[in-house]
Homo-oligomer: A and B are copies of this chain.
């Protein structure tokens, strides 16, 4: 039965035949020590397999060297990549990431922040439902704990690493309009709890109005519906007359493509589709997805860098929004004179989009 208890600096000091203060100085290079005692301490530490207890250090130094991170869900690759980005920045810094996810539940959001705070985190990286009205987030600021938001527009005194969803969505509206689309729709998942989704819709709507186009239909669906193309097909059929759909993320957009095929509609001839995020797989599709390319990992990195900077005594400054880029893909085309979704019924047998786009990509 091997040793059950932690090896502490006391053990090292005893083994080396010196006081704990000396051992601490040697191991930390934080003060004078004779070459002799230095050797003994180092040897003792090595042979005992000593390592510092972060807990003891945290208590003494009042810095936990820990950063709390809250995201809605790691099952969403966008957030997962952002956390990975933050993790990479923090890797050599001595800071550890304490993570929580809320599953998009605003109540859990706040509980999670409270828990993170009571874990004495030195900083916070947060994406949540309603940062603007979170008492816990304000508490963090009152305790002078720097908070980096991710994915949110900058807020109050909190810095944020984000893309301008409103502007990006306007770009989609422009692309639709340039092709001649008038009857468009915005497909949203978790509209009520996602400011990203709302901002995208707002930008899309604003640009449509600015061009004198009809307001886009706001189509909210459930997670179950998003995952079941058959249901999604039913929903799309209910919204007759749409010639272009802007999905609030790429996964949804791919589901729309699938649903369209199930209804016998061709993409993009019968229905144009655009997504948001720019996930890698979108480029691998038979018909590559038109989308807004963003860099979630860069968001995580920036959030972590900003925080690190503040933690190390530097300024805690808002940086400009991260860039996005429209990716044309092949899911956008001019609407047909008479849209088959307007016609209502009788799905036509799909035609042959494969060749055209395979060549286009080649």
* Residues of A near any B CB (own CB < 8 A): 2-4, 6, 49, 51-56, 58-59, 62, 64, 66, 73-75, 77, 80-81, 83-84, 87-88, 91, 96-101, 103, 108, 114-120, 139, 141-144, 227, 229, 251, 254-255, 257-258, 261-262, 264, 280-281, 284-287, 297, 349-350, 352-355, 358, 361-362
**Complex interface: chain B residues within 8 A of A51 (CB):** 114, 117-118
Q: Is the CB of A52 within 8 A of B103?
A: no
Q: How far is the CB of A253 from chain B (nearest CB, A)?
A: 10
Q: Which residue of B lies closest to A250 (CB)?
A: B281
Provide the bound-state CA to CA distance between A105 and B82, in Å: 20
Q: Is the CB of A119 within 8 A of B54?
A: yes
Q: Is the CB of A358 within 8 A of B261?
A: yes
Provide the bound-state CA to CA distance between A4 and B142, in Å: 7
Q: Is the CB of B281 within 8 A of A254?
A: yes
Q: Is the CB of B262 within 8 A of A284?
A: no
Q: Is the CB of B80 within 8 A of A74?
A: yes
Q: How far is the CB of A329 from chain B (nearest CB, A)?
A: 13
Query: What are 20 of the A-B contact pairs (CB < 8 Å)?
Result: A2-B142, A3-B142, A49-B139, A51-B117, A53-B120, A55-B58, A66-B119, A74-B74, A74-B87, A80-B84, A83-B99, A88-B103, A97-B100, A227-B280, A229-B284, A255-B284, A258-B284, A262-B361, A350-B354, A354-B354
Q: Which of B55, B100, B120 has a CB less than 8 Å from the CB of A120? A: B55
Q: How far is the CB of A352 from chain B (nearest CB, A)?
A: 5
Provide the bound-state CA to CA distance between A115 and B97, in Å: 12
**Complex interface: chain B residues within 8 A of A358 (CB):** 261-262, 264, 350
**Complex interface: chain B residues within 8 A of A54 (CB):** 118-120
**Complex interface: chain B residues within 8 A of A49 (CB):** 139
> Which 3 A-B pairs rank lowest in CB-CB distance, beginning with the nearest?
A80-B80, A74-B84, A2-B142
**Complex interface: chain B residues within 8 A of A4 (CB):** 143-144
**Complex interface: chain B residues within 8 A of A141 (CB):** 2
Q: How far is the CB of A104 from chain B (nearest CB, A)?
A: 12
Q: Is the CB of B354 within 8 A of A353?
A: yes
Q: Which of A99, A227, A254 has the most CB atoms of chain B within a 10 A radius of its CB?
A: A99
**Complex interface: chain B residues within 8 A of A120 (CB):** 6, 53-55
Q: Which residue of B lies closest to A286 (CB)?
A: B286
Q: Is the CB of A56 within 8 A of B53?
A: no
**Complex interface: chain B residues within 8 A of A258 (CB):** 284-285
Provide the bound-state CA to CA distance between A360 and B164, in Å: 41
Q: How far is the CB of A64 from chain B (nearest CB, A)?
A: 6
Q: Which of B52, B91, B118 has a CB less than 8 Å from the CB of A52? A: B118
Q: Beyond A251-B281, A262-B362, A352-B354: 14 further Cβ-contacts under 8 Å? A: A2-B141, A54-B119, A55-B55, A66-B98, A73-B84, A75-B80, A77-B80, A97-B100, A251-B280, A254-B281, A254-B284, A257-B284, A261-B361, A262-B361
